[in-house]
């Protein structure tokens, strides 16, 4: 899980995989039911400056979460799950939900529970 107190911008063929890793020739390796979650805590709702923007063939085998802001997905971006105060999707983007993916708001359900095993705060210089 990556928590950002600002906006998140994922673009231009950038690929983010879960713990299964990445192969330069083939992209993300076979999924192992592990997902990366990127969370933005800002309340930006303007499409020109959203809390999270994903665009231009970017791929995320994971979760984007903007509980107070706009999640703007466009131009052939692909991800597994999206949760936000507001979502705007344009131009051939794909959100492909998987059965049993854990609900962000509950600790039990079809996907079971989730646990943060360790974390570190990164403070800019």
pLDDT, one tens digit per residue, over 46-98 is: 999 999 999 999 988 888 999 999 999 999 988 888 889 999 999 988 888 76
- Residue 36's pLDDT is 86
Residue-range domain boundaries for the chain? 2-95
Instruction: State the average pLDDT over residues 12-38.
Output: 84
- Residue 103's pLDDT is 57
End-to-end CA distance of the chain: 21
- Please tell me whether the overall predicted TM-score, pTM, comes out greater than 0.85 for this model: no
H or E element that contains 19: none
- Residue 11's pLDDT is 92
């Amino acid at each position: 899980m990556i928590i950002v107190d600002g906006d998140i911008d994922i673009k231009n063929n950038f690929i983010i995989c879960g713990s299964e890793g990445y192969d330069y020739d083939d992209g993300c390796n076979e999924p192992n039911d592990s997902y990366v979650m990127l969370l933005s805590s800002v309340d930006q709702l303007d499409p020109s400056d959203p809390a999270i923007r994903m665009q231009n063939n970017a791929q995320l085998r994971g979760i984007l979460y903007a509980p107070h802001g706009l999640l703007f997905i466009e131009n052939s971006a692909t991800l597994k799950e999206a949760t936000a105060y507001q979502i705007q999707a344009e131009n051939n983007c794909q959100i492909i939900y998987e059965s049993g993916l854990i609900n962000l708001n509950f600790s039990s359900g079809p996907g079971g529970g989730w646990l943060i095993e360790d974390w570190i705060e990164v403070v800019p210089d």
